[in-house]
Structure 1
């Protein structure tokens, strides 16, 4: 059985919010040998994108520069904070151009945006992992939303995953991405082979040591 993969949440800043989505955190996570690096991507409104935790207060990093830094060193976990389908497709297209579809998972919260990226990838003949983020109690029974979105990855908050979304993904044969798993006990649980495909954590060093 394949081992569970590890994604460094907001580039693996840990408890230091000033390091979230920073090149410093990125380099530290890459040095650890993480499988994926996760970062938040926001539209600037001018056709370009910025990597930041909160673009209203952070200057952020150029999206292209982050993709270039990840290329060939890890796989990218691009969490899109977009409102339009056009922005979702544009950001996904840019990531695929740099990293390749095989080294990328794209996640977001809007079913319409997920579907737009899935439709675009299909039209381009790409096998791209595109996940619908589920984190609210009312999303514990997401059958219609997932079907409408055409998501091919279930992206679940760890609490909802335990309450039923892990079983939901398993019944449908969909990979499960669990976020954000930070305690040692919870990491031990989700890192057992077969529990998930990918685990996102603020503590990638701990996760990798527990996984072995």
Structure 2
């Protein structure tokens, strides 16, 4: 059965995190970044109120944000014992502290880490070999000079030591999911919000995890086959 990861949007604040946990999804995804004073926070965007997050101390982030920006440790406490954690690292330098926090809260098999950076995957697999890590592929579709690599990701996946591949749904639909499955890599597919695509991927045995902003809809569709 394909598991479901509930993605939390920044705009939803802590309410979105609690809603994701309450949805019944197997995983709750949080985006991890670091502030100027070293705090690990749950925040998708590089900026808060137009100011780079990595130039703001956490106190300033809280003052600028229109909704609460939780610390990663606080978010893990909310998720713990309700779901598994899906930790999406948005930048270098978060690897060790994030994984150590997750190990303390969830043990070795209660979470998965995703990152677009092969070097981050390799670092985690070197120092925490039992942790499940997926190389995220497809963010480069919007970045000049990187999109071509996303259509042939297997070399980067193998060299990084990743256990899984996290694929943008557009790539999954044009043959990259097939490539990864043939090479023996389970797939996470993101971010799937349209019901026809949910049905397609929930019924595909090559998809281990479906990532969505609409977990309740995905759970309903999965329950009804």
TM-score bin (small chain): 0.7 to 0.9
Query: 1:101 aligns to what?
Result: 108
In terms of mean alpha carbon deviation, does 73-82 or 23-32 score higher?
Answer: 23-32
Query: 1:83 aligns to what?
Result: 92
**Displacement after TM superposition at 1:121 (Å):** 1.2
The 4+ residue runs of structure 1 with deviation greater than 4 A are none
Q: Unaligned stretches of 5+ in structure 2?
A: 49-60, 63-68, 142-146
C-alpha RMSD of matched pairs (Å):
1.6
**Displacement after TM superposition at 1:62 (Å):** 0.8
Whether 2:82 is the aligned partner of 1:73: answer yes
Count the aligned residue pairs. Answer: 197
**Displacement after TM superposition at 1:81 (Å):** 1.1
- Could you tell me how far apart the structure 1 residues matched to 2:206 and 2:182 are? 13
Deviations 1:80-104 (A, max 9, x none): 01224xx312211221221222110
Query: 2:157 aligns to what?
Result: 146
Q: Unaligned stretches of 5+ in structure 1?
A: none
**Displacement after TM superposition at 1:152 (Å):** 0.6
**Displacement after TM superposition at 1:30 (Å):** 2.1
Query: 1:41 aligns to what?
Result: 32
**Displacement after TM superposition at 1:54 (Å):** 2.6
- SS of corresponding position for 2:29: strand
Deviations 1:45-74 (A, max 9, x none): 444300112353163111100011111100
Matched-pair contact (CA < 8 Å) for 1:41–1:63 = yes
Greater Rg over alpha carbons, structure: 2
- 1:167 is aligned, of 155, 178, 185, to 178
Whether 2:27 is the aligned partner of 1:24: answer no
CA distance 1:45–1:94, shift in 2 (3 Å): farther
Matched-pair contact (CA < 8 Å) for 2:181–2:206 = no
Matched-pair contact (CA < 8 Å) for 1:43–1:81 = no
Deviations 1:128-153 (A, max 9, x none): 21011100332110122112211111
- SS of corresponding position for 1:197: strand
**Displacement after TM superposition at 1:29 (Å):** 2.2
- Could you tell me how far apart the structure 1 residues matched to 2:192 and 2:38 are? 33
- Could you tell me how far apart the structure 2 residues matched to 1:185 and 1:194 are? 16
**TM-score using structure 2 length:** 0.82
- Could you tell me how far apart the structure 1 residues matched to 2:204 and 2:117 are? 29
- Could you tell me how far apart the structure 2 residues matched to 1:149 and 1:173 are? 15
Query: 1:199 aligns to what?
Result: 210
Whether 2:134 is the aligned partner of 1:131: answer yes
